Structure 1
Amino acid sequence: MAYDAEDTRRRIFAAAAAEFAEHGLAGARVDRIATAAKANKQAIYLYYGSKEKLFAAVLRAKLEEVRVSVSIDPDAVGQSVGQMFDWYREHPELIRLLLWEALEACDAPGEGERERRDAFREKVHQLVDAGAVNHLPENARVRACQDLLFTIMGLISWNFAVPGMCRLVLDEETEQAALDRRRETVIEVARRLATASDAPAARAPE
């Protein structure tokens, strides 16, 4: 059977995503990734260069998945936020990867940060162009949409960062019940934030 390089890369990527989500960058082992991917270590280094670059590639790809899969429509904020909540629920590895990055990354900008920043700028300008926070002066809309996007992301992601705490605080018997309840609350809060005509504008830099 001919060697399928693309299939090998896919297997390595899937194994690496699971390994990094479980153990983080420092705790992940290339040997385990190779075994799970049914590949050799040399292939991992050939395709990705290092464990650190492999982690960066996995995180970048996962963020791209959510970027292309979900967008926030100012005219249908509830539906958009519900879709985003469901995406994170179905892909809990992204939150784990982001938490590991926050715990283990140094203060210097990480690999691919410029691309990630540009992707979020695109999301923000989509919100502005679609008429979000249209009650604000033009020079304040971008910053307001940045704050809106980040606030919505926080409202969603915290539920999956600490699902046990979510269950305890809401006094639900199961994490499933707690997340079902939180989904409705997050949708309603996001809808109010996006439509509040008296929301304060973000202060422009001096």
Structure 2
Amino acid sequence: MPYDAEDTRRRIFTAAAAEFAEKGLAGARVERIAARAKANKQAIYLYYGSKEKLFAAVLRARLEEVSLAVSIDPDAVAESVGQMFDWYREHPELIRLLLWEALEGGGEPAEDVGERRDGFRGKVQALVDRGAFDHLPGEADRVRAAQDLLFTLIGLIAWNFAVPGTCRVVLEEDTDEAAWSRRRATVIEAARVLASPRPALTGNARHVPEPGR
């Protein structure tokens, strides 16, 4: 059977994703990745250059996957959040990879920080363009509000899968399944409230509370 380079790359990538999610960058071993992939170490270095570059490639691909699979619909934010919740539940390795990056990155920005920022800018601008923050006076204010909303929604979703044990204990549920079911409904409702349109402010129509109120 002829050597299939693309299949080897896929097997290495899949094995690396599992290894990095379990062990992090520092704890991962090229030997274990090679064994999982039924490939040799030389192939890993040939296709990806180093363990660090392989980790970066895995994380970048997972972020692209969630971006393509689910996006925030400015007209249906709560429904989009429910879909994102389901995606993260089915792919908990992304949360673990992001946590490992934060723990082991030493505070240095990721090499693909520009690409990540551009992706989020598109989502933020979509929220602004659909009028989610028209009650704010200026474009810069609306952009900042959309950025805060997006990051808050990501946090509402991701924390459930970052600390599932704590989620279960706080909610006093017997299983992760029961806890996640409750949390999904709660997160969707929170997103609905956070994204609710507010009346536009015109002229000097802002309400200033009276002293003591």
What TM-score do the two structures reach when normalised by structure 2? Answer: 0.90
Could you say which residue in structure 2 is the equivalent of 1:61?
61
Letter in 1 for 2:163: V
Q: 2:97, 2:106 → 1: CA distance?
A: 15
3-state SS of paired residue (1:3): coil
Q: 1:178, 1:107 → 2: CA distance?
A: 32
Quick check: which has more Rg, 1 or 2?
2
Q: Deviations over 1:135-193 (max 9, x none)?
A: 22232111111000000000000000000100100011111100000000000001100
Could you tell me how far 1:196 is from its partner in structure 2? 5.0
**Is 2:132–2:197's contact at 8 Å kept on the other side of the alignment?**
no
**Is 1:73–1:130's contact at 8 Å kept on the other side of the alignment?**
no
Letter in 2 for 1:98: L
* Structure 2, unaligned runs of 5 or more: 200-213
Q: What pairs with 1:143-182 in structure 2 (closer than 5 Å)?
A: 143-182=144-183
Could you say which residue in structure 2 is the equivalent of 1:188?
189
Q: Percent identity?
A: 75
Aligned length: 199
Q: 1:55, 1:17 → 2: CA distance?
A: 8
Could you tell me how far 1:78 is from its partner in structure 2? 1.7
Q: 2:150, 2:131 → 1: CA distance?
A: 14
Q: Deviations over 1:81-113 (max 9, x none)?
A: 100000000000000000001110022222211
**Is 1:70–1:80's contact at 8 Å kept on the other side of the alignment?**
yes
**Is 1:20–1:55's contact at 8 Å kept on the other side of the alignment?**
yes
Which stretch shows the higher mean deviation, 34-43 or 124-133? 124-133
3-state SS of paired residue (1:195): coil
**Is 1:134–1:141's contact at 8 Å kept on the other side of the alignment?**
yes
What TM-score do the two structures reach when normalised by structure 1? Answer: 0.93
**Is 2:74–2:126's contact at 8 Å kept on the other side of the alignment?**
no
**Is 1:30–1:41's contact at 8 Å kept on the other side of the alignment?**
yes
Root-mean-square deviation over aligned CA pairs: 1.3
Q: 2:9, 2:51 → 1: CA distance?
A: 14
Q: Deviations over 1:56-80 (max 9, x none)?
A: 0000000010111111112212210
Q: What pairs with 1:37-48 in structure 2 (closer than 5 Å)?
A: 37-48=37-48
3-state SS of paired residue (2:43): helix
Could you say which residue in structure 1 is the equivalent of 2:135?
135
Letter in 1 for 2:68: V
Q: What pairs with 1:116-127 in structure 2 (closer than 5 Å)?
A: 116-127=116-127
Could you say which residue in structure 2 is the equivalent of 1:204?
none
